[in-house]
Copies of this chain bind each other. A is one copy, B any other.
Amino acid sequence: MPRPTRRQHLIEVAIDLFNQYGYHATGIDLILEKAKVSKRTLYVHFRSKDELILAALRHYDGLFRNHFMTQVEKTAKTPVERLLAVYQVAQEWFMQNNFYGCMFINAIGEYSATDSAIRQVCKEFKALIRDYIEGLCAELAAPDPAGLAEELGLLFEGAIVTAQVSQQKSRAAQTAKTAATALIDNALAERSDRT
């Protein structure tokens, strides 16, 4: 693997800093200092700070979803196991010492204007996560895969926020997993009721 381009390096450093300190609080100068890159170079690759934020969000989107799905599929085989593995992988994510909550949730807290591009990217990320869960629910042959996925998605988001706020990370993930088990069982019971 060749050493990353300056553009990519800037994005990676920016992701770390945005997560830790937030978007407005992280100045361009801090990013440049940590990345050991000149200001000139940053503005060659990105028109503005907002564009760097967008690039960081998009890059993290790909990185995160790829890692997450790979991890889920590696550790579990059946749809049910995979749905539960989601919360196991989430737990490992929470336990990282540079976990500062969800990058996209934090971003929307600072950029709530409905027409902002940043907001749009966050919305799309969450939709894709939900779609992934929905796919697993569909494999389950749950009667209402979209409905079950929405419920499991709420548990996922709730676990992220609770891990971030309460700092009881493994408890939040474990509780979500327990609740998910109950909701899945419930959905499958309805299926067998009908047949």
Which residues of A does B touch, CB under 8 Å? 20-22, 24-25, 100-101, 104-106, 108-112, 114, 122-123, 126-127, 147, 150-151, 153-162, 164-167, 171-172, 175-176, 178-179, 182-183, 185-186
Nearest B residue to A108 via CB reads B165
**Complex copy number for this chain:** 2
Task: Report Cα–Cα, A110/B17, bound state, in Å.
Answer: 11
Task: Report Cα–Cα, A111/B135, bound state, in Å.
Answer: 36
Q: Is the interface of A mostly helix, strand, loop or mixed?
A: helix
Residue with the highest number of chain B CB atoms closer than 10 Å, among A112, A178, A185: A112
With A100-B112, A105-B165 already in contact, the answer to whether A155 and B155 are too (CB < 8 A) is yes
With A153-B158, A154-B179, A182-B183 already in contact, the answer to whether A20 and B112 are too (CB < 8 A) is yes
Task: Report Cα–Cα, A165/B109, bound state, in Å.
Answer: 9
Task: Report Cα–Cα, A18/B166, bound state, in Å.
Answer: 22
**Contact among B110, B172, B178, B179 for A110, CB-based, below 8 A:** B110
Q: Which residues of B contact A25 (CB under 8 A)?
A: 24, 110
22 residue pairs of the A-B complex, CB under 8 angstroms, read A22-B109, A22-B111, A100-B112, A101-B108, A105-B161, A109-B109, A109-B110, A123-B167, A151-B175, A151-B182, A153-B158, A154-B162, A154-B172, A154-B176, A155-B155, A157-B158, A157-B162, A182-B182, A182-B183, A183-B183, A185-B186, A186-B186
Interchain CB contact under 8 A, B112 and A101: yes
Task: Report Cα–Cα, A126/B159, bound state, in Å.
Answer: 13
Interchain CB contact under 8 A, B153 and A162: yes
**Contact among B105, B150, B166, B175 for A147, CB-based, below 8 A:** B175
**Contact among B111, B112, B127, B175 for A166, CB-based, below 8 A:** B127
With A24-B22, A154-B158 already in contact, the answer to whether A179 and B172 are too (CB < 8 A) is no
Task: Report Cα–Cα, A164/B158, bound state, in Å.
Answer: 13
Nearest B residue to A161 via CB reads B157
